Amino acid sequence: MEEQEFIALLLDPKTQNTAFQKLLSDYQRPLYSHIRNIVLNHDDTDDVLQNTFVKVFQHLKNFKGESKLFSWMYRIATNEAITFINKKAKRNGTTSEAMQTRIVENLRADTYFDGNEIQIKLQKAIHLLPQKQQLVFKMRYYEEIKYEDMSEILGTSVGALKASYHHAVKKIENYMTSN
């Protein structure tokens, strides 16, 4: 089915519920992974994922089709996740960077994390990067999102994204080699 047809089904009150169920089943897993990579913790991911789908449903009527539905939803999820960690950090009287570093340090204690030493080391290396580089690296390395799609999601040029990823890889490789 063409994306425009699917969007029409989402906007039509008669077919909206069925179409939205399909949207949920198609995107709940990839969006969960995307949000989890940003907020790190399962419970927070659950909150953000719910907020994302509620927002998607509420704003469907405003979706102009200027970008792909996929990019639009990822953009909402990314914004929701970043807003969530910033608010949470503010509530706890700390910065989002400090809060994320603490979560990474305590990953072993997380019930929903079963990574090995190398995975923990990579997470630590990632969280030493500036926020934008972290995001670009996670989306490219873990989620394997194409640069063109990432460009639509983050509103950044493909060239800038490639440069950002390149710098991130260099820093991570240096950290992984020396630690």
Partner 1 sequence: MKTFKLDNDPKIGTGFKVPDAYFDDFQSKIDQRLQENEKPTISLFAKRKTWFFAAAALFIMALSIPLLNLMFTSSTEIDKDTLEMYLSNQTNLSNDDIVELLNEEDIQKIKIDLKIEDQELEDILTTNCNMEEYIVD
The residues of the shown chain that bind partner 1, judged by CB under 8 A, are 21, 24-25, 28-29, 32-33, 36-37, 40, 42, 46, 49-50, 53-54, 57-58, 107, 112-116, 118-120, 122-123, 141-142, 169, 172-173, 176-178
CB of residue 85 to partner 1, shortest distance in Å:
16
In the DSSP assignment, the letter for residue 92 is T
Q: How far is the CB of 17 from partner 1 (least distance, A)?
A: 9
Tell me whether residue 4 or residue 50 sits nearer to partner 1 (CB atom): 50
Residue 73 one-letter amino acid: M
Residue 93 C-beta: closest distance to partner 1, Å: 27
Inter-CA distances, 42 with 1, 9, 128, 156, 173, Å: 33, 32, 21, 28, 27
Residue 166: left (phi > 0), alpha (psi -120 to 50), or beta? Answer: alpha
The smaller minimum CB distance to partner 1, of residues 31 and 152, is found at 31
Identity of the residue numbered 151: S
In the complex, the smallest distance separating the C-beta of residue 142 from partner 1, rounded to whole angstroms, is 6
- Cα–Cα distances (Å) from 85 to 26, 98, 108, 131, 178, in that order, read 25, 11, 20, 12, 30
13 CA to centre of own chain: 29
How far is Cα 149 from Cα 171, in angstroms, rounded to an integer? 24
Distance of closest approach, residue 21 Cβ to partner 1, in angstroms: 7
Nearest residue (CB) to partner 1, 7 versus 60 = 60
Judged by beta carbon, residue 36 or residue 150, the one nearer partner 1 is 36
Q: Which of residues 42 and 162 has its CB atom nearest to partner 1 in the complex?
A: 42
